[in-house]
A and B are shown apart, each in its own frame.
Chain A
Amino acid sequence: GNSVTQMEGPVTLSEEAFLTINCTYTATGYPSLFWYVQYPGEGLQLLLKATKADDKGSNKGFEATYRKETTSFHLEKGSVQVSDSAVYFCALTPNSGGYQKVTFGIGTKLQVIP
Chain B
Amino acid sequence: DTAVSQTPKYLVTQMGNDKSIKCEQNLGHDTMYWYKQDSKKFLKIMFSYNNKELIINETVPNRFSPKSPDKAHLNLHINSLELGDSAVYFCASSQGPGTSAEAFFGQGTRLTVV
Contacts and interface: CB of A to CB of B under 8 A. Distances in A.
A46 interface: yes
A57 B102 CA distance: 13
Interface residues of B, number: 24
A114 interface: no
Interface size class of A (residues with CB under 8 A): 20 to 34
Contacts of B43: 44, 89, 104, 107
Contacts of B106: 43
A38 B43 CA distance: 11
A101 B48 contact: yes
B103 A100 contact: no
A45 B105 contact: yes
A94 B99 contact: yes
Interface of B: 4, 40-43, 45, 48, 50, 55-56, 90, 92, 97-108
Given A46-B104, A89-B43, 7 more contacts: A38-B41, A43-B106, A44-B92, A46-B102, A93-B99, A95-B99, A107-B42
